Amino acid sequence: MTASPTETTRPRLLLLDGHSLAYRAFFALPVDNFSTTTGQHTNAVYGFTSMLINVLRDEVPTHVGVAFDKSRQTFRLEEYPDYKAKRNKTPDEFKSQLPLIQEVLDALHIGHLEMDGYEADDIIATLTTQAVAAGYEVLILTGDRDSLQLVSETSTVLYPMRGVSELARMTPEAVEAKYAVPPYRYPEIAALVGEDSDNLPGIPGVGPKTAAKWINQYDGLDNVITHADQITGKAGENLRAHLGDVIRNRHLNRLVVDLPLPVGPDDLVRQPWDRQEVHTLFDGLEFRVLRDRLFESLESEEEIDDSGFEMAGSVLAAGEVAAWLAEHATAEAGTRTGVSVGGTWGAGTGDVASVALAAQDGTAAWIDTTGLSPEDDTALAGWFADAATAKVLHDAKGPMLALAARGWPLAGLVSDTALAAYLCRPDQRSYELADLTLRYLKRELKGASADDGQGQLAFDDLEGDTAAADTAMLHARAVLDLAEAIDVELEERGGTQLLADVELPLVDLLTTMEQTGIAVDVDLLEALQAGFDTEVRAAAQAAYSAIGREVNLGSPKQLQVVLFDELNLPKTKRTKTGYTTDADALQSLALKSPHPFLESLLRHRDQIRLRQTIEGLLKTVAEDGRIHTTFNQTIAATGRLSSTDPNLQNIPIRTADGRRIREGFVVGRSPDGAPYESLMTADYSQIEMRIMAHLSEDALLIEAFRSGHDFHSITAARVFDVAAEDVSVEMRAKIKAMNYGLAYGLSAYGLSQQLGIEPGEARGLMDEYFQTFGGIRDYLGGIVEEARRSGFTETIWGRRRYLPDLTSDNRQRREMAERMALNAPIQGSAADLIKIAMLHVQEALTEAGLASRMLLQVHDELVFEVAPGERDTLEALVRDQMGGAADLAVPLDVSVGTGHSWHEAAH
């Protein structure tokens, strides 16, 4: 932004040209870098919203409205058929974003208008004329210079200079300084010079300086036309030859100022906006950073409870902990204590610096753990370990790691507000405490001292007034109140049992798994890294040899030249920067049009990726020689666990080179140095299709699983009507792709791409499949319609996923939601099943007193470290517990393998 607005007591109306600004945003931000997981492009929405936030913050308007073009069919086009004829066809990626921009405006309660036969400029001109007459100050944000004719002492154009971030303040002085004429005469210059963007040709050889000179010399365009025969030289000749164009241009660029609009300036007063509405929309758009900017920059006018969290807070001195716990944090039925842990955690460990507790009797305490007496330490450790004292934390696993490292294992966790909010709204992008407090409690969560006058905290007897203590106790109280509020919604959404029986017990298990980690052979990984580095260089040299010169294999522009200009390979999908060279496109291209350069390029990329994977792993090896990943329960909307720092679920296994990385994960030793015997892996076979069989109740599919024979061959035999022994490799591959694809909402086009066949053949294959397995057809058809009616899908165990886009007018978003509705119950049920199996296995391990331990969960696979002499017992236990984790219509088949390394333990 440039200069700040002047202070005024007059109403200030901000008008935005929606189409103009959205189009600028679309081309300012790379379309390929802004899209949701559903495939919806969002660069125009992001840029427009970012600009909107900035201008609302900086200009502080009292009234605001946005004008849009209804269509290209306007009175100007009727009068001049070539009007704007040079403009390219509007990109589909842009058109799909305009409804989203209007959804953003609706969420912010900002009015927007459009009118048949007219442009956004005309709407803005009409509103500006009305507002100026009514004594308003008017600000017009637009990238269309035609609006400069509206500039006056009380109306200013804010013109984007670069991208969507820098605005020029076009006052009367600024317009005259730039164009040498007053604002109302800017259209006269445009009439003489022409407007390329509108396809309005000007006078050849006449530029803005000459046009301004004539207008000033003859006192306006009308007089220039009247005295055209007096203007000498070639410019004069051209003027006389193109007078018709000039007159037409001036007629078309004159903005309409008297449209019969349904609203006037007074109707555009800024309205309160609903945070929850914004949260829901921004979750869908995946605008995490932009939402934070919105909430930081603009105050919602919705009702926020300014009373804060009232409680009597105490900073406990040495020797006071036991007494406070006994008085305020007992195991009485129905009482819970909010807990906030200050410290650090990660990589399987942590450190506790302080603890804040908020009791239901309205008291709170803050404890500096660095100055505890032995009696305090014992009291606090006992309280944390007491399962009878109900505790509530936010995102509990990290604090539990820190507490465990201190020697204070946590029991009695009855709610985790992050997990509870996730179960309520699994597609939400943020589960931060401050965010949830605003959503559910309508309270600002800020650190505040007891006497700062902000009303955030009201402590009766705070001792040792410190900002850290205030903030920590505030957070503890917020967690306690938040848990109560979310409990209501969780019950309404059927997630109470899932939280209590699955997600909360899993927090404790995952904490233990992160503490344990998995051993790695650093020497082997370093050797693999060196080998992949050699392969990277070899693949690069092979690529250079294939074309006879060196190029930058990481440069899309240089690759486009080689692939499509020099080698004349078939063009891939066109993007703003040329034809795409992304991995999927080049893999597909290599199948259709193989070439040595392309083969070496793909090999080069694969080896770089493998090398980078090992580099990431080596950086995370802890002092104990083990990698301690972090498991996340609130990332995937389907309920699947994810792994970060490092991501051990993303280690490549589809290629022989990728599988070699798993050789570096090996059996290790216990903390006391005792060696373990081996690693063991156990996973479910074809779990998605087994769940599909259970949910669809398809008799033939159930029979195929119960037969005990190769499932894909049996289903292929059914579809192709041949004996099982006559199923070819190609038949089996096609049906295998179909079997797995259906669980992910596979389309006929997707199947054709996967199998390398024509879409028509893929559609025929799907028709044959559904004709054979009618139960699957009926199930898949019914699940979308049921979700459309109820608004959500549900797993076998009641995990819901809400899909509002099932009723969207946007076809792309609706179809993506339909695919989600197809796969969410299946993938979500598989996610629930493996979690339940983990809990059952861990419980059985404990009851049996085994020293073997669970290390990892990777989708449908569990990895164990086997203690000496426990292999057979562990295998029997794992098979029994995983196989009996659910009572489905088909058996749960569990595959088990053992070996020195993760790779050797594959089965």
Tens of pLDDT, residues 210-236: 888 898 888 888 888 888 888 888 878
Is the distance from CB of 300 to CB of 273 less than 8 angstroms?
yes
158's enclosing H/E stretch is strand 155-162
Q: Which residues of 315-341 are buried (b: 16+ CB within 10 A; e: fewer)?
A: bbeeebbbebbeebbeeeeeebbbbbb
Q: Confirm whether 589 is domain-assigned.
A: no
Per residue in 377-386, pLDDT (tens digit) is 999 999 999 9
- Amino acid present at 69: D
Residue 833: predicted pLDDT: 98
Domain boundary pick from 516, 541, 570:
516
Instruction: Look at residue 1 and tell me whether its pLDDT is greater than 60.
Output: no
- Same domain, yes or no, for 829 and 901? yes
Asked if 264 and 322 sit in the same domain, the reply is no
One-letter amino acid of 290? L
| Closest among 680, 688, 675, 631 to 878, alpha carbons compared | 680
- Same-domain pairing of 260 and 358: no
Mean pLDDT for 415-435 is 91
Instruction: Identify whether residues 811 and 885 lie together within a single domain.
Output: yes
pLDDT at 808: 81
CA distance 617 to 529: 11
d(CA 584, CA 727): 30
User: Is 449's pLDDT higher than 70?
Assistant: no
* Residue 898 in domain: yes
pLDDT of residue 881: 98
CA–CA gap between residue 888 and residue 685 (Å, rounded): 14
Domain check: are 120 and 260 in the same one? yes
Instruction: Name the average pLDDT for the chain.
Output: 88
pLDDT tens track for 454-490 = 323 333 334 444 678 988 999 999 999 999 999 999 9
Give me the pLDDT at residue 722, please.
86
Residue 733 to residue 525: CA distance in whole angstroms: 34
Phi (first) and psi of residue 342, to 5 degrees? -95, 130
CA 622, 624, 625, 627 torsion-angle sign:
negative
The reply to whether 819 falls in a domain is: yes
Q: What is the DSSP letter of 92?
A: H
Evaluate if residue 303 carries a pLDDT over 60: no
- 677 is a domain residue: yes
Q: Tell me the angle at which helices 729-742 and 759-772 cross, rounded to the nearest 10 degrees.
A: 80
pLDDT given at position 861: 96
Residue 420: pLDDT over 50: yes
CB 211 within 8 A of CB 193: yes
pLDDT of amino acid 299: 66
Residue 854 vs residue 726, higher pLDDT: 854
Residue 737 or 860, more confident: 860
**Interatomic CA distance for residues 899 and 896, integer angstroms:** 11
Per-residue confidence band for 450, with pLDDT thresholds at 50, 70 and 90: very low
What pTM did the predictor assign? 0.80
DSSP secondary structure of 691-760: HHHHHH--HHHHHHHHT-S-HHHHHHHHHHT--GGG--HHHHHHHHHHHHHHTTT--HHHHHHHHT--HH
Mean pLDDT within 436-447: 79
- The amino acid sitting at 691 is I
Same-domain check for residues 638 and 787: yes
Rounded mean pLDDT, 547-564: 93
| Of the residues 486, 516, 546, the one at which a domain ends | 516
Q: How many helices (H) and strands (E) does the chain have?
A: 36, 28
Task: Determine what percent of the chain is predicted with pLDDT higher than 90.
Answer: 56
Residue 198 lies in a domain: no
**Cβ(67)–Cβ(123) under 8 Å?**
yes
Residue 600 covered by a domain: no
User: Do residues 395 and 450 share a domain?
Assistant: yes
Long-range contacts of 728-731 (CB under 8 A, 24+ apart): none
Q: pLDDT at residue 301 above 60? A: no
- Range 201-206 average pLDDT: 84
Q: Which of 643, 690, 640, 639 is nearest to 801 (CA)?
A: 639
Phi then psi dihedrals of residue 338, to 5 deg: -80, 135
- Which residues are 276's β-sheet partners? none
- Across the range 871-892, mean pLDDT stands at 97
Specify the pLDDT at position 603: 95
* 328, 295 contact by CB (below 8 A): no
Contact 202, 192 (CB under 8 A): yes
**Closest to 617 (Cα-Cα) out of 593, 595, 642, 649:** 649
Nearest to 631 by CA among 640, 644, 622, 618: 644
Q: 476 vs 308, 316, 376, 507, 720, CA distance in Å? A: 13, 15, 20, 19, 63
Q: Tell me the C-alpha distance between 340 and 342, whole Å.
A: 7
Residue with tokens 């609006």: 147
889 and 826 in a common domain: yes
The residues pairing with 66 across neighbouring beta strands, listed in sequence order, are 16, 112
Q: Which residues of 244-269 are buried (b: 16+ CB within 10 A; e: fewer)?
A: ebbebbbebbebbeebebeeebeebe
28 and 171 co-located in one domain? yes
CATH number (domain holding residue 848): 3.30.70.370
- The string of pLDDT tens digits covering residues 114-135 is 998 898 999 999 999 999 999 9
Q: Which residues contact 839 (CB under 8 A, 6 or more apart)?
A: 502, 505, 506, 509
Which one of 464, 492, 516 terminates a domain?
516
Better-predicted residue by pLDDT, 435 or 899: 899
Rounded CA separation 533/613 (Å): 12
DSSP string, 506-529: HHHHHHHHHHH-EEB-HHHHHHHH
One domain, residues 388 and 474: yes
What residues contact 593, with CB distance under 8 A and at least 6 apart?
569, 570
Considering only CA atoms, which of 315, 320, 326, 318 is closest in space to residue 382?
326
Instruction: Kindly tell me if the per-residue pLDDT of 451 is higher than 70.
Output: no
Decide if 625 is inside a domain: no
Q: Is 582 within a domain?
A: no
Q: Which range is least confidently modeled, 4-13, 116-125, 687-696, 894-903?
A: 4-13
Strands 349-358 and 363-368 turn out to be antiparallel
Burial status of residue 546 (CB atoms within 10 A of its CB: 0-12, 13-18, 19 or more): middle
Secondary structure class of 863 (helix, strand, coil)? strand
The whole-number average pLDDT for the span 855-871 is: 96
CATH number at residue 31: 3.40.50.1010
Which residue range(s) make up the domain with 884? 632-698+773-907
Indicate whether 263 and 371 sit together in one domain: no
Q: What is the mean pLDDT of residues 387-408?
A: 96
Q: Which residue has the tokens 């331990």?
A: 853
The CATH number of the domain holding residue 398 is 3.30.420.10
Q: 745: pLDDT confidence band, cut at 50, 70 and 90?
A: low
Q: Is the dihedral of CA 839, 841, 844, 848 positive or negative?
A: negative
Task: For 813-822, write each residue's pLDDT tens digit.
Answer: 788 888 889 8
**Number of domains present in the structure of the chain:** 3
Quote the percentage of the chain above a pLDDT of 70: 94
pLDDT mean over 265-292:
84
Q: Residue 194 and residue 236: Cα distance in Å, rounded?
A: 16
Task: Let me know: does 746 contact 738? Beta carbons within 8 Å.
Answer: yes
pLDDT the model gives residue 122 = 93
Do 50 and 156 fall into the same domain? yes
